[in-house]
Amino acid sequence: MTDQVLLLLVEDEPLLRLASGDTLEEGGFAVAFACDGAQAIGALGNQDPPLAGLITDIRLGSGPDGWEVARRAREINPLLPVVYITGDSAADWPARGVPNSLILQKPFADAQLVAAITSLLNKPAANIADN
């Protein structure tokens, strides 16, 4: 597991968290889980190996939302790839999303989730900084 890329998956709906986690693990990733924004923020910077990417739902119930989780993650690692997943907040992404991020509208195919994070992880660092 130490040679796997570690992602943080933030999803407040247990069945979606489980299904998305399984999809990512089947895609070859190691996955750390958080069920709300506060738990996610607490996990940022506390992973070994360090997080290589963040996948977060936007609406996470009470407390910090996915927009805030991504902003806090970027304070720790300004180049961290971020994939937002949402049922109804995609229109807010251009104004509230961080650079070097993608958004997936629910429902999405499993392959779309793996493709989204993989495309960001494979993006050259020079291009990431230019976003």
Residue 107: strand, helix, or coil: coil
27 in a domain, yes or no?
yes
Nearest to 49 by CA among 9, 87, 7, 92: 7
| Domain containing residue 68 | 6-130
Question: For residues 30 and 54, is the Cβ–Cβ distance under 8 A?
Answer: no
1 in a domain, yes or no?
no
18 in a domain, yes or no?
yes
What is the Cα–Cα distance from 16 to 20, expressed in whole angstroms? Answer: 6
Question: For residues 60 and 31, is the Cβ–Cβ distance under 8 A?
Answer: no
Predicted confidence pLDDT, tens digits, the chain (131 residues)? 457 899 999 999 999 999 999 999 999 999 999 999 999 999 998 888 899 999 999 999 899 999 999 999 999 999 999 999 999 989 999 999 999 899 999 999 999 999 999 999 998 754 444 44
CATH (domain of 66)? 3.40.50.2300
Structure tokens given for 73: 């993650």
> Number of structural domains, the chain?
1
123 in a domain, yes or no?
yes
What DSSP state is assigned to residue 98?
P
Prediction pTM value? 0.91
91 in a domain, yes or no?
yes
Question: Quick one: pLDDT at residue 119?
Answer: 96
Question: Quick one: pLDDT at residue 125?
Answer: 57
12 in a domain, yes or no?
yes
Question: Quick one: pLDDT at residue 113?
Answer: 97
